[in-house]
Amino acid sequence: MLLEMANTKYALFAALIHVSANSILAAPQYSSRPPRMRKFPEHLKFGVATAAYQIEGGWDAADKSPNIWDVFVRKPGTIKDNSTGDDACLSYYYHKRDIKMMKFLDVDFYRFSISWSRILPTGFTNKISEAGKDYYNNLINDLLKNGIEPIATIYHWDLPQSLQDLGGWTSPNVVDWFGEYARVLYQLFGDRVKTWITLNEPKQFGVFGYGTSRFAPGIDAKGIGEYLAVKNLLLAHARAWHIYNDEFRSIQKGKCGITIATDFREGVTNSPEDVEAGEIAMDFEVGLYSHPIFSTEGGYPPRVIHRVAQKSKEQGYHKSRLPELSPEEIKYIRGTSDFYGFNHYSTRFYTTENYKKGTFPIPSYDDDIGAVGTYLDYERGAVIHTTVVPKGIRKALKWVKDTCNDPQIMITENGFSTFKGLNDSRRINYFIKYLDNILDSIELDKCNVVSYTAWSLMDNFEWDSGLITKFGLFETDYESKEKTRRARDSAFWYRHLLATRTLDPNYIVQRDDIAF
């Protein structure tokens, strides 16, 4: 029955979606002119971001319990340089230095994440860590004393290992676990934190963690695990939003939303097959998470429902590998975000040329998409997903406006990867080109962008790349006892940008040797 329903939905919506998606992507005229001097709108706020596991260190400090990354990094071959986040940047001990760096930049806000196992050592609410509570209270209070708005991410990939042992994000019980955890955070910090992000990049921790062995917890259950995680994380996000909306919003006067990785996907060529491949990839990579929350009808994107159902049937499954959302669940998830948290780094291109059965493992998420994704011959950063395609961020913002009911958009991550060194002119050039396209999206496409966040404040543990890849405005000296940070050229550039609220492609950085 599910297969027939999926086919019926596809028949009803496919033509409409194909036409509307083509019109969305074709409407703007993307300029190839070089960036020029421009003022930012007065309402646009600027900040920096980090994540708990990537910077805090103190992995076993006080009564904190292991999270899935603490365990994952100890498996041989998982991290390129065999490093761990055990120490990272030692921000658990030296958060005041981080704030001095932010004051140097003069940012409006700081986006950080809270470690679930540092606050709740058992993963459950039976024990709240006093040490964990003190750490985040001190961080939040010191931010506010320095005129910096705290923006807190509830979950940035570091599930307590105790909960992973019970099934993690593939267990429907995670909806309750996450809701209880979120309620504790609202109670402890919601009087001062007025912007909450429930989940950071659900695709990355769902697909890479449960459909491949790339990210923690490394459950390589291709074609099954990632879809179990998708349903549960959507419901968990909705649970956290409803708890805030029903129990805390009227008193705390804040907002709550989700951040979705929204790198753009499009066809390698303009052939109908490649154009459709790019649109399908956007449905899987972004729409699988945005459509249930932001669309008018809710639920998974129709093309995703159809493709997974059809592939499942061909593979001998008696029902779709994509768990069904009931009408009640669709209603419960729809509308549960006060803003669209938008992370963007690059654009990937898709083609069906030479694609045939068996190109990817069967079943798998990649096989369900049914096309090959690649990064074309553009300038590349230290990691491939920072390939420089500036017009892609404008296309992605326009896609969000047109497919997600024109939401308020908070750009919660954007950045470029390099290797070590204080002279990072390539990072500055990346920022200039991407900010120029963001201004086009605001001024020409009328996208409701309200904030921009540079990733990252400093070099940190960059997941499976370890300590090799550098994203920081400040360089972290991992050989020093206190993980000393030094301002890169990009830190001085960003400081000037924020001071003038002007994008000036001709500004020449004068760097001093400033260490924190």
Per-residue model confidence (pLDDT) at position 22 = 38
**Ordered mean pLDDT values, 10 residues apiece, the chain (516 residues):** 39 36 50 90 98 99 98 98 98 98 98 99 98 98 99 99 98 99 99 99 98 98 98 99 99 98 98 98 98 98 98 98 98 99 98 93 98 97 98 98 98 98 98 98 98 98 98 98 98 98 97 95
- Name the 3-class secondary structure at 38: strand
Per-residue model confidence (pLDDT) at position 31 = 67
Per-residue model confidence (pLDDT) at position 26 = 43
- Name the 3-class secondary structure at 109: strand
Task: Tell me how far apart the alpha carbons of residues 79 and 70 are, in angstroms, rounded to a whole number.
Answer: 12
For 55, residues 6+ apart whose C-beta sits below 8 A from its C-beta are: 88, 89, 91, 98, 457, 458, 460, 461
For 322, residues 6+ apart whose C-beta sits below 8 A from its C-beta are: 227, 230, 300, 304, 305, 308, 309, 312
> From its phi and psi, is residue 77 left (phi > 0), alpha (psi between -120 and 50) or beta?
left
- Name the 3-class secondary structure at 188: helix
Per-residue model confidence (pLDDT) at position 354 = 86
Residue 180 designated active-site: no
Task: Give the global pTM.
Answer: 0.94
Q: Active-site residue among 201, 226, 329, 462?
A: 201
Report the amino acid identity of residue 274: D
Q: Active-site residue among 56, 149, 285, 413?
A: 413
Per-residue model confidence (pLDDT) at position 18 = 38
Main-chain phi, psi angles of 342, to 5 degrees: -120, 110
Lookup result for tokens 């996000």: 237
CA 4 to chain centre: 34
The CA dihedral of 328, 334, 335, 337, to the nearest 10 degrees, is 110
Alpha helices, DSSP H, located in 371-480: 391-403, 425-443
